A and B are shown apart, each in its own frame.
Chain A
Amino acid sequence: MDFSDSTEEAQFRMRLREWLTTNDPGLPASSTDDAYWAGQAKWHQSLYDGGFFGTTWPTEIGGQGRPSVYDVIVDEELAAAGAPPRPSLGYLVEGILEHGSADIQRRFLPGIVNGRDRWCQGFSEPDAGSDLASLRTRADRDGDEYVLTGHKVWTSYSDDADWCLALARTDHDVPKHKGISAFAVPMHQPGIEQRPLPMINGITKEFGEVLFDGARVPAENMIGEPGEGWSLAMTVVSHERQPHELGFAGRYAKLVKDLTGQVRDDRSQYSTEQVRELGWAIVETEMLRMHVYRRLSDRLDGVSHGPEGSVDKLLMTWTEQAVGHAALSVGGVAAADGADTWLKVYLYSRAQSVMGGTSQIQRNLVAGRILGLPMS
C-alpha cells in the first residue's frame, strides 16, 4: 500500500508544476464563472498540447495510455497552482470508446480529446429528467440520414458546441428503453436552435437548451447499433459519477485552499462556527481525495464501473456541498466590494445533487444493487 507517487508519477508531477509556471491562463480557477467558460476551449487545447490532458486515454485517439492516477495528479497540481480545472468531458469519451465502431472512434475521438471540437450532451428533456428513458426526441430515417425533432434541456456547454451526443427515439414499437439510439449531431445547421439557460448563480455559458426541428444527421453518425442508446447513456452517466473523471476533487481542493488562506490572513474576523464549517469542508475534501485513490487502485485489478459509482457520486456531492456551505459561511454572500464569487460557488454546489442522476436516484441504486434490498 502506497499513497505516494512512484518515480515516474513524481517526474510527471514536477514537469507539470514547471509547465504551469508559464502556462497558467489566468482564468478564474473555478468553473462557476462565465469568464472561465469563455476561455475554456483554449485552456483545453493548451493543456493537451503540453501533454497534460487526456493522458489516460488510448494513444490511437490522442491519449498517452497512462493509468488513471495521472488525471488525479493533473487535478492536484492545477488546484495547488490556482490554475483552472481540467475540462470535464471524459464521460463522452468513455461512452464513445465503449459503444462506437472503430470508424466512429477514429472520426470523433481525437477532436474531443485534443479540444479542437467542442461537444455537448443532449440527453435530458423537459419531460425526461430522472426518467430519461421516456425521452421523446425522435430521429426518423430519410435515405442516408435521420431527421431530428425534439427538445433537449439542461444541456451543458451547448452554446459553444460543434457537436451534440444526442439520444433520440428511432423505434416506437418496442419498450421505451429499447427504442433509443445515439447520434453525433453537427450543431452548426439550420434545424437546430440553441438557447442559453442561466443557472441560479447567474452564469449563462454552462447550461442551455437545444431545439431540433428538422435537423439532419448522417446515418453513419449513429454511435453503436440502433437501440443501443440507452446502454450508451448508462455508460456515460456511470462515468459522470466518477470524481476523478470530472476533475472535481481538484476544484474542491482549490476552493478550500482559498478559503483557508482567507481565514488565515485574519483569523480574528471569523467565529469558531465559521471556521468549523470550513474545517468540515477540509475533511470532506481530504476524504474524497483518498476515496479516489482507493477507487483508482481497485481498477488496477481490472475492477470497472458498477453500482459503486453511485457511492462515489454521493461522496462527491456531499463534499461539494460541504465546500459550498464553507464558501457561504467564510466567504459570505458578498464581499466588502460587493463581489459575489463565494455566493456563486455555493449556488453552483446545489446542482451537484441533481446532475448525472439525482442523489435520490443514487440512493435507490445503492440500496438495490449494492445492499440487495428488495425493490419497492
Chain B
Amino acid sequence: MDVRLSPEQQALRDSATQIVDRLGPGAVRQLDDLERVDKLEAAVLASGWRELRVSEAGGEPLASAVEVAIVAEELGRGLADTPFLGPTLAAELRRLAGASPATAPETVALSHPMAELALSTAGEAPSVAVAVDARGAASALVLVPTPDGHVLATVSLGSPEVRTDLTRPAAAVDGASVVAPIGQPAGPLTVEDLSAWTAMGLALTSADLVGTMRGAIDLTVAYAASRQQYGRPIGSFQAVQHLLADAFVLMEGSRSIARHAAWAVDALPTGAALAAAAAAKAYCARAARTVCETSIQVHGGIGNTWECLAHVFLRRALLSSELLGGAGASLERVLAHHGIGGGDGLQ
C-alpha cells in the first residue's frame, strides 16, 4: 500500500496547475475573453491530455485513470473552459469498443437528465439528448442497441450554448442528424464495458468536483481574509472560520475517496471499480454542493452577484454532479452493490 503520486504524476499535476493558473479565467469577465480561451485551448491540445485514454496496441489506454483524474482535478480547480471531460469520455468509449480514435473533436451525448449515454433506435438520433462539454465538437457518440450488445454511432450537434455550467457549454443533438455507426474494427460494447466506462466517468467527475471545491475554497479564504466588517477581516470571526473549516475538511475527505476511485478504474474488477466510483461520486457531489454554497454565503451580497466567481464554481459543481448520476443516484449504486438497493419495503 502506497497511494502517493509518483514523481511523473506530480510532474503532470504541476504542468496542469501551471497552464490553468496562467490561462484559466481569473474573473467572470474573463470568460468572454476569446483570445484567452484560444490560448488555453491551444495549450491543452498540445498537452495531449485528451488522448490519455486513447488505446495503445492491445487496447490498453496510454495512461491510467489516475492521470486522467489528476488533470481533471486541476482543470476543475482553475475553472478551465476548454474541453476535457467530453473528449476523454468519448475516447474511453472508443477504446472499450476497439474503435479507432476520433479524427475530429468529439464528445458524448447523454439522455436527460445526463445520467446515461443516449440511445439511438430505429436509425433516428435521440431527441432530447444533450452533448456535454461540447465546445469545438461537431459530433457526439451515442449507443445503438443490437442483438450482440450496443454499438457506437456518431450524431451531429447544434451550436454549443451555455446551460448550467459557464465553463463547459453543452450542445443539443441535431434531431435530423444522420446516425453513423462506427464500423470495423469496432465491436459491440458489453454490459461490463459500459460499467467500466461509467466507473471511469464517475471517477473523472469526482476528481473535477474535488478541484472545483479546492478552487472555491481558495477564492473564499482569500476573500474572508481581506473583506473588512466591524473593523476587522470577516475571516477572524469564529462563525465564518467554522464554515470554512468544514468546507476544507469536506474537500479533504473527497480527495481521499476520489483518489481511490481513480485508482480502482484500472486496478480492480469492474464491479468493485464501479462501487468505488459510486461511493466517491456520492461523497464528492454532496460535499461539493455544501462547499460551493459556503463560498456564496461567505461572499455575502457580492456572492449573489453574477460578477463573483463563486457561482461559476457552484455551476461547474452542479454539472459535474449531475453527469452519470449525482449524490442520490450514486448512493443507490452503492446500496445495490451491497445487496440492499431497490424499492421501498413499506410501500
Contacts and interface: CB of A to CB of B under 8 A. Distances in A.
Contact of A2 (B241, B242, B246, B263): B263
Interface residues of A, number: 57
How many B residues are at the interface, by size bracket? 35 or more
Interface stretch (B17-25, B161-169, B252-260, B318-326): B252-260
Interface stretch (B3-11, B102-110, B144-152, B176-184): B3-11
A58 B75 CA distance: 43
Nearest to A368: B241
Contacts of A267: 340, 342, 345
Interface centre among B242, B245, B257, B332 (most CB of A within 10 A): B245
A353 to B, nearest CB: 12
Contacts of A290: 256-257, 259-260
B327 to A, nearest CB: 9
A300 interface: yes
B91 to A, nearest CB: 21
A270 to B, nearest CB: 5
Interface class of chain B by DSSP? helix
A300 B263 CA distance: 19
Interface string B214-256: 0000000100110000001101111011101110110011111
Interface string A197-222: 00000000000000000000000000
A133 B196 CA distance: 54
Contacts, number: 170
B331 A271 contact: no
Interface in B310-347: 331-332, 334-335, 338-346
A4 to B, nearest CB: 7
Interface class of chain A by DSSP? helix
B264 A3 contact: yes
B197 to A, nearest CB: 21
A2 B3 contact: yes
A315 B259 contact: no
Contacts of A372: 221, 225
Contact of A272 (B237, B245, B344): B344
B336 to A, nearest CB: 10
B1 A371 contact: no
B66 interface: yes
B142 interface: no
Nearest to B241: A367
Interface string A341-355: 000000000000000
Interface in B1-46: 1-6, 9
Nearest to A9: B1
B292 interface: no
Contacts of B267: 2-4
A264 B246 CA distance: 33
Contacts of B253: 287-288, 291, 315, 318
B338 A300 contact: no
17 contacts: A1-B9, A2-B1, A2-B2, A271-B344, A282-B338, A283-B279, A286-B276, A287-B283, A294-B255, A314-B245, A314-B246, A367-B235, A370-B248, A371-B235, A371-B248, A373-B225, A375-B236
Interface of B: 1-6, 9, 66, 221, 224-225, 232-233, 235-238, 240-242, 244-246, 248-249, 252-257, 259-260, 263-264, 267, 276, 279, 282-283, 331-332, 334-335, 338-346
